[in-house]
Structure 1
Amino acid sequence: MKVELAQLAGRDNDTAYNLERAVAAIAACAADTQLIMFPEGHLMGFPSAQTVAQVAETLDGPTVRAVLAAARERDIAVVVGMAERDDGRFYNTTLLITPEGIALRYRKTHLWASDRGVYEAGDRYATCLWNGVRVGLLICYDIEFPESARALAQLGAEVLLVTNGNMDPYGPTHRTAIMARAQENQAFALMVNRVEEGDGGLLFAGGSALVDPLGTLLFEAGREEGQFAVELDLPQLAAARRDYRYLDDQRLKLPGEIVEHADGLRELLIPQR
């Protein structure tokens, strides 16, 4: 599986600019690229409590439609973050968009300090089948909680796709976390981070990465913008799981109802506190 990691510097509350850059990156993908990934919240940047109502959009809004059109034009899948509006509520959301439409939606379940008061937390984890591989989405702070990736693993995830908005001085934290989440769930992990300075003075750390199912860091970007091509050797999944399976040997399972859908979507609902 060939993937391109679009490590970009977005603009907060500037959807037109961010969308233009996303569409250009999709158009620039190599002919054999199957998936391109963008950072956390790329389409709208990081709104504040004062601006989120102005910039957030529904899933059938013009910005998602434009990304879908670009995906269809290049026959490619796109993982991209947005500020989602749904019935007067706002979510930090990442989408897996294929030429057929939205294959997977994930709302960030662990809200970091700058998310609180802006977004509501999601209430479920989800995976879907894409190109014969079961994939799941996570967002930034989620990967610092082992349960998030384990929830996706319990749903059968073989590839963890992480949109990131991690800033200094926490770059090393996410480098360690993404390697651990891949190793302990025997899955590939792809993480794409933002770079340069945002509106609030945060300096985003870059370090977009690919980790194999044994926890080996196969690729790590620096701190500059770039569009990086990486390749997943999918037979490594079977090799990593040949002699033992953590999911088979673990003594405790995460609680929550698993819901199977006819289209291959699989969800784990988070129990209410």
Structure 2
Amino acid sequence: MVRIAAVAGAFGRDLDFDLQRVATLIEHARRDGAGMLVLPDAALGGYLADLRNPGPESLPPALAVDDAHVREVVTLAAEMVVCFGFCEADGDRRYNSALCVTGDGVLGRHRKVHQPAGESMAYAAGDGFAAFDTPVGRVGMLIDYDKTFPEAARALAVDGAEVIAALSAWPTSITNRAPRMAQDRQARLFDLYDQARAAENQVVLASSNLTGSLGGLRFLGQAKVVGPGGDILARTWSKAGIAIAEVDVAAEVATARRVLNHLAERKPEAYG
């Protein structure tokens, strides 16, 4: 059994503040017995303030993978598996990236592949999806818009992922904002995608998200842990907090796939 935790929380441009918040969240998750903690996208440095026109002066700080702030998260993780997002610097390019680490170092990295309108002006796109081994099992990562595309999560499941960490900086609707967050179109889709990606691949999905506001964006929260049948095991709703669920990952996945095994019963030759 492992306790998997997903965070809804606010992070911004102040890296020292962000690190302090990461340290607090790791401490709380450790106190609650979590073996895996999934922090939001952009947990170091915050997300874009404007998706329509992300000007260079408003971009998050770009950090190399060996930056001192990144190394500090590795140290804080210790025995825990921790996934977190940041703006990655690679030469002249920036990527919306996620790392999965323990105190021993980096276990896996993902660069966001699918970009909503405007984000391509700030970030280069990643080019693939790969799972990797961790102390809590084989894990794959998605960032934000990646979860909208079934092929992304399916590629991770085909690569053996039994847990998908879906890190988000997912805002309310920009074009048609509802008076109440619970009525917002993007709030509904966020939950729908989380449950569908877990159920169609019969995996455990840990979905984190930002809360609060940055520039013109208001973030949804709604962190959750979803079982391989698509059932929500724990959630935070729209407020900041940590959703924690105790899961026997291998047993739950095996049970879900006992009669109908979606991966084994695919027909790739028919899909074109």
- Normalising by structure 2, report the TM-score: 0.87
The answer to whether the 8 Å contact 2:46/2:60 transfers is: no
Aligned to 2:263, the other structure's residue is in SS state: helix
Map 1:76-225 → 2, pairs under 5 A: 76-131=80-135, 133-169=137-173, 170-198=186-214, 200-225=215-240
| Counterparts of 1:2 and 1:246, CA distance in 2 | 25
Shift of 1:254: 11
Structure 2 partner of 1:15: 15
Q: Deviations over 1:118-173 (max 9, x none)?
A: 00110111111112611100011111100000110110111111001111131111
Checking the alignment, whether the CA contact within 8 Å between 1:52 and 1:83 is kept in structure 2 is no
Tell me if structure 2 keeps the 8 A contact 1:52–1:90: no
Measured at CA, do residues 229 and 220 of structure 1 come closer, stay the same or move farther in structure 2, by a change above 3 Å? closer
C-alpha RMSD of the superposition: 1.9
> Which amino acid is 1:210 matched to?
V
Aligned length: 251
1:226 to 241, 254, 261: 241
Letter in 2 for 1:101: G
Whether the 8 Å CA contact 2:87–2:96 is kept in 1: the answer is yes
Counterpart position of 1:43: 44
**CA displacement at 1:114 relative to structure 2:** 4.2
Uncovered stretches (5+) of structure 2, i.e. residues with no partner: 49-53, 174-185
Matched residue, 1:58: 64
CA contact (8 A) 1:110 1:121 kept: yes
- Deviation, 1:49, is 4.2
User: 2: CA distance between counterparts of 1:194 and 1:102?
Assistant: 23
Once structures 1 and 2 are overlaid, which stretch shifts more, 219-228 or 170-179? 219-228
Provide closer, same or farther for how the CA distance between residues 253 and 203 of structure 1 changes in structure 2, counting only shifts above 3 A.
Answer: farther
- Report the secondary structure of 1:205's partner residue: coil
Alpha-carbon contact 2:45-2:60 (below 8 Å) kept = no
How far the C-alpha of 1:27 sits from its partner, in A, is 2.3
Identity of aligned residues (%): 31
Call closer, same or farther: CA 1:254–1:7 in 2, change over 3 Å: farther
One-letter amino acid of the counterpart of residue 26, structure 2: I
Structure 1 pair 50–168 and aligned structure 2 pair: CA distance change class (3 A): same
Alpha-carbon distance between aligned partners in 1 of 2:11 and 2:262, rounded to the nearest angstrom: 38
| TM-aligned CA deviation for residue 10 of structure 1 | 1.3
| 1:147/1:254 contact within 8 Å kept | no
Aligned amino acid, residue 70 of structure 1? L
| 1:216-257 alpha-carbon deviations (Å, 9 max, x no partner) | 1222211111133222232111111111221222112799xx
2:77 to 52, 68, 71: 71
In structure 2, C-alpha distance between the alignment counterparts of 1:215 and 1:29, rounded to whole Å:
24
Q: Which moved more, 1:48-57 or 1:32-41?
A: 48-57
Letter in 2 for 1:145: F
Gaps of 5+ in 1: 256-273
Partner of 1:6: 7
Q: Under a length normalisation based on structure 1, what TM-score does the superposition of the two structures give?
A: 0.86
Structure 1 residues 7-52: Cα deviation after superposition (integer angstroms, max 9, x where no partner) = 11112x3222212211221123334221111111110112444147
Aligned residue for 2:176?
A: none
Q: Report the secondary structure of 1:246's partner residue.
A: coil
Whether 2:253 is the aligned partner of 1:237: answer yes
Corresponding residue SS for 1:29: helix
Of 85-94 and 209-218, deviating more is 209-218
- Distance (Å, rounded) in 1 between the aligned partners of 2:136 and 2:27: 24
